[in-house]
Amino acid sequence: MKIVMLGAPGAGKGTQAKMIVEKYGIPQISTGDIFRANIKNGTELGKKAKTYMDQGALVPDELVVDLVVDRLSQDDCKNGYVLDGFPRTIPQAEALTAALAAQGEKLDYAIDVEVPDENIVNRMSGRRACVNCGGTYHIVFNPTKVEGICDACGGKLILRDDDKPETVQHRLSVYHAQTQPLIDYYKAEGILKAVDGTKNMADVFADITAILGE
């Protein structure tokens, strides 16, 4: 069961990916984790990636795909995996498809968690984070007992910069320009499945398990 998760920032795809991992016992693969592990372990790929990162440059697509494919060849991925946050662009998707095909493999599903931009802006601008313990809340969906005060430690809650409406709008415009074309790409590949991400978390997951099977 080889899955790629798609959806705008704040659509909830990361949460759904974690739930898939727990239910089906397959690993969640993120490029950030792969970079950190390879750099920490001093692998050749890790050293190459680090030279770009140290310069503040983007790691080239070919190298990212090499790192991902290397990770997917490990034992814990033999029953499948969930890719979260990769691929982000059409060249990455094409390179991944080609690399998997060279090993006689392919992705089974691309699951798109659909949420309108307006909902995402409202959802993210309602998030609050504790400056002390990092706990997260939502003023509508998960409010604290006392407004502005963390339930866990009594710390002050703030609206983080990356949750401010103008920042969210910018992230959404980048997503629509770069990543949304992947939806058409995977539709053409015949593996795209869309779910309504405006439903509550459990219902979205029920829709996903209906696609993946019990």
Burial of 40 (0-12, 13-18, 19+ CB in 10 A): exposed
**Is position 164 annotated as part of the catalytic site?**
no
Two structure tokens written together for 130: 């504790």
* Ramachandran class of 203: left when φ > 0, alpha when ψ lies in -120 to 50, beta otherwise: alpha
Q: Which of 48, 164, 171, 187 is catalytic?
A: 171
Q: Which of 18, 23, 78, 160 is catalytic?
A: 160
**Is position 171 annotated as part of the catalytic site?**
yes
Q: Which of 2, 13, 71, 193 is catalytic?
A: 13
Return the CA Rg of the chain. 18
**Is position 127 annotated as part of the catalytic site?**
yes
Q: Which of 50, 88, 187, 199 is catalytic?
A: 88
**Is position 36 annotated as part of the catalytic site?**
no
Q: Which of 123, 127, 128, 193 is catalytic?
A: 127
Residues forming the active site: 13, 88, 127, 160, 171
